[in-house]
A = this chain, B = another copy of it.
Amino acid sequence: RSGEMAKSTQLIDNEVFRAYATYTAIVLMKMKLMSLVTAYYRLTRKAFVNPEDVASFGKGDSAKKYLRTDPDVERVRRGHLNDLENIVPFVGIGLLYALSGPEPSTALLHFRIFTGARILHTFAYLIPLPQPSRALSWAVGYAVTFSMAYKVLKTVLLL
Protein backbone atom coordinates (compact mmCIF):
# COMPACT_ATOMS: atom_id res chain seq x y z
CA ARG A 1 0.00 0.00 0.00
CA SER A 2 2.94 2.33 0.57
CA GLY A 3 3.68 2.16 -3.17
CA GLU A 4 0.20 3.39 -3.95
CA MET A 5 0.56 6.13 -1.38
CA ALA A 6 3.78 7.31 -2.96
CA LYS A 7 2.10 7.45 -6.35
CA SER A 8 -0.91 9.31 -5.12
CA THR A 9 1.22 11.99 -3.55
CA GLN A 10 3.16 12.68 -6.74
CA LEU A 11 0.56 15.20 -7.82
CA ILE A 12 1.41 17.32 -4.80
CA ASP A 13 5.08 17.32 -5.87
CA ASN A 14 4.24 18.96 -9.17
CA GLU A 15 5.26 22.63 -9.16
CA VAL A 16 2.07 24.03 -10.71
CA PHE A 17 -0.11 21.86 -8.50
CA ARG A 18 1.76 23.03 -5.39
CA ALA A 19 1.20 26.64 -6.38
CA TYR A 20 -2.48 25.88 -7.03
CA ALA A 21 -2.78 24.24 -3.61
CA THR A 22 -1.09 27.18 -1.90
CA TYR A 23 -3.24 29.89 -3.45
CA THR A 24 -6.44 27.83 -3.16
CA ALA A 25 -5.82 27.33 0.56
CA ILE A 26 -5.19 31.07 0.94
CA VAL A 27 -8.29 32.30 -0.91
CA LEU A 28 -10.57 29.71 0.72
CA MET A 29 -9.32 30.71 4.18
CA LYS A 30 -9.77 34.37 3.27
CA MET A 31 -13.36 33.55 2.28
CA LYS A 32 -13.94 31.73 5.55
CA LEU A 33 -12.67 34.72 7.53
CA MET A 34 -15.75 36.58 6.28
CA SER A 35 -17.78 34.43 8.70
CA LEU A 36 -15.71 35.76 11.60
CA VAL A 37 -16.13 39.36 10.43
CA THR A 38 -19.89 38.79 10.17
CA ALA A 39 -19.95 37.33 13.69
CA TYR A 40 -17.90 40.29 14.97
CA TYR A 41 -20.36 42.83 13.52
CA ARG A 42 -23.39 40.84 14.72
CA LEU A 43 -22.02 40.86 18.27
CA THR A 44 -20.80 44.47 18.36
CA ARG A 45 -23.86 45.90 16.51
CA LYS A 46 -26.18 43.52 18.35
CA ALA A 47 -27.96 42.54 15.13
CA PHE A 48 -29.13 38.93 14.98
CA VAL A 49 -31.52 36.92 12.89
CA ASN A 50 -32.47 33.80 14.93
CA PRO A 51 -34.62 34.09 18.09
CA GLU A 52 -32.42 31.49 19.84
CA ASP A 53 -29.39 33.76 19.27
CA VAL A 54 -30.86 36.56 21.42
CA ALA A 55 -32.39 34.36 24.14
CA SER A 56 -29.55 35.26 26.52
CA PHE A 57 -30.50 38.96 26.25
CA GLY A 58 -33.71 38.33 28.16
CA LYS A 59 -37.33 37.50 27.31
CA GLY A 60 -39.88 39.25 25.09
CA ASP A 61 -39.30 42.71 23.67
CA SER A 62 -36.00 43.25 25.49
CA ALA A 63 -34.49 40.47 23.33
CA LYS A 64 -36.59 40.92 20.18
CA LYS A 65 -35.19 44.36 19.49
CA TYR A 66 -31.87 42.69 18.59
CA LEU A 67 -33.55 40.69 15.80
CA ARG A 68 -32.77 43.26 13.15
CA THR A 69 -30.59 43.91 10.15
CA ASP A 70 -27.55 46.17 10.36
CA PRO A 71 -25.87 47.86 7.38
CA ASP A 72 -22.39 46.71 8.41
CA VAL A 73 -23.50 43.10 8.86
CA GLU A 74 -25.29 43.11 5.50
CA ARG A 75 -22.21 44.57 3.81
CA VAL A 76 -19.96 41.77 5.06
CA ARG A 77 -22.58 39.20 4.04
CA ARG A 78 -22.65 40.60 0.50
CA GLY A 79 -18.85 40.40 0.39
CA HIS A 80 -19.03 36.80 1.58
CA LEU A 81 -21.60 35.86 -1.07
CA ASN A 82 -19.48 37.56 -3.73
CA ASP A 83 -16.57 35.40 -2.58
CA LEU A 84 -18.71 32.26 -2.94
CA GLU A 85 -19.66 33.33 -6.46
CA ASN A 86 -16.06 34.02 -7.49
CA ILE A 87 -13.61 32.08 -5.34
CA VAL A 88 -15.45 28.74 -5.57
CA PRO A 89 -15.36 28.71 -9.42
CA PHE A 90 -11.65 29.62 -9.21
CA VAL A 91 -11.02 26.52 -7.07
CA GLY A 92 -12.82 24.24 -9.56
CA ILE A 93 -11.43 25.76 -12.76
CA GLY A 94 -8.00 26.22 -11.19
CA LEU A 95 -7.72 22.50 -10.42
CA LEU A 96 -8.46 21.57 -14.04
CA TYR A 97 -6.12 24.34 -15.21
CA ALA A 98 -3.29 23.08 -12.98
CA LEU A 99 -3.79 19.59 -14.45
CA SER A 100 -3.88 20.87 -18.05
CA GLY A 101 -0.13 21.40 -18.10
CA PRO A 102 0.27 25.19 -18.21
CA GLU A 103 3.66 26.91 -18.16
CA PRO A 104 4.58 27.20 -14.45
CA SER A 105 5.31 30.92 -14.76
CA THR A 106 1.98 31.56 -16.53
CA ALA A 107 0.11 29.52 -13.95
CA LEU A 108 1.76 31.36 -11.06
CA LEU A 109 0.81 34.66 -12.66
CA HIS A 110 -2.85 33.59 -12.87
CA PHE A 111 -2.96 32.39 -9.27
CA ARG A 112 -1.17 35.45 -7.89
CA ILE A 113 -3.27 37.99 -9.77
CA PHE A 114 -6.51 36.25 -8.79
CA THR A 115 -5.52 36.07 -5.12
CA GLY A 116 -4.38 39.69 -5.05
CA ALA A 117 -7.55 40.85 -6.79
CA ARG A 118 -9.81 39.03 -4.33
CA ILE A 119 -7.95 40.41 -1.31
CA LEU A 120 -8.26 43.91 -2.79
CA HIS A 121 -11.96 43.25 -3.46
CA THR A 122 -12.51 42.41 0.21
CA PHE A 123 -10.85 45.64 1.38
CA ALA A 124 -12.72 47.64 -1.28
CA TYR A 125 -16.01 46.16 -0.05
CA LEU A 126 -15.45 46.37 3.71
CA ILE A 127 -13.76 49.77 4.13
CA PRO A 128 -15.48 50.69 1.62
CA LEU A 129 -13.25 52.27 -1.01
CA PRO A 130 -14.86 54.53 -3.64
CA GLN A 131 -15.87 52.85 -6.86
CA PRO A 132 -14.54 51.64 -9.26
CA SER A 133 -12.13 49.97 -6.78
CA ARG A 134 -14.50 47.12 -6.03
CA ALA A 135 -15.72 46.78 -9.61
CA LEU A 136 -12.19 46.63 -11.00
CA SER A 137 -10.86 44.13 -8.46
CA TRP A 138 -13.91 41.96 -9.16
CA ALA A 139 -13.36 42.21 -12.93
CA VAL A 140 -9.70 41.20 -12.67
CA GLY A 141 -10.56 38.01 -10.74
CA TYR A 142 -13.36 37.32 -13.21
CA ALA A 143 -11.05 37.68 -16.22
CA VAL A 144 -8.36 35.44 -14.69
CA THR A 145 -10.94 32.68 -14.13
CA PHE A 146 -12.15 32.89 -17.73
CA SER A 147 -8.55 32.84 -18.97
CA MET A 148 -7.96 29.59 -17.04
CA ALA A 149 -11.25 28.11 -18.32
CA TYR A 150 -10.21 28.94 -21.90
CA LYS A 151 -6.91 27.09 -21.44
CA VAL A 152 -8.74 24.10 -19.92
CA LEU A 153 -11.24 23.88 -22.78
CA LYS A 154 -8.51 24.35 -25.40
CA THR A 155 -6.56 21.46 -23.85
CA VAL A 156 -9.25 18.91 -22.99
CA LEU A 157 -12.39 19.69 -24.99
CA LEU A 158 -14.40 16.46 -25.23
CA LEU A 159 -18.14 17.04 -25.52
Contacts and interface: CB of A to CB of B under 8 A. Distances in A.
A95 B91 CA distance: 11
Interface in A73-115: 75, 78, 80, 84-86, 88-89, 91-93, 95-96, 99-101, 112
Nearest to A111: B159
A9 B85 contact: no
Contacts of A153: 22, 25-26
Contact of A11 (B8, B13, B50, B75): B8
A24 B95 CA distance: 11
Interface string A23-54: 01110110110110000000000000110110
A152 interface: yes
A7 B35 CA distance: 39
Given A28-B93, A32-B89, A85-B35, A14 B10 contact: no
Contacts of A21: 96, 99-100, 152, 156
Contacts of A85: 31-32, 34-35, 80, 84
Nearest to A14: B8
Interface of A: 1, 4-5, 7-19, 21-22, 24-26, 28-29, 31-32, 34-35, 49-50, 52-53, 55-56, 75, 78, 80, 84-86, 88-89, 91-93, 95-96, 99-101, 112, 128-131, 134, 142, 145-146, 149, 152-153, 155-159
9 contacts: A8-B10, A12-B101, A17-B156, A24-B93, A25-B152, A28-B89, A32-B89, A32-B146, A56-B131
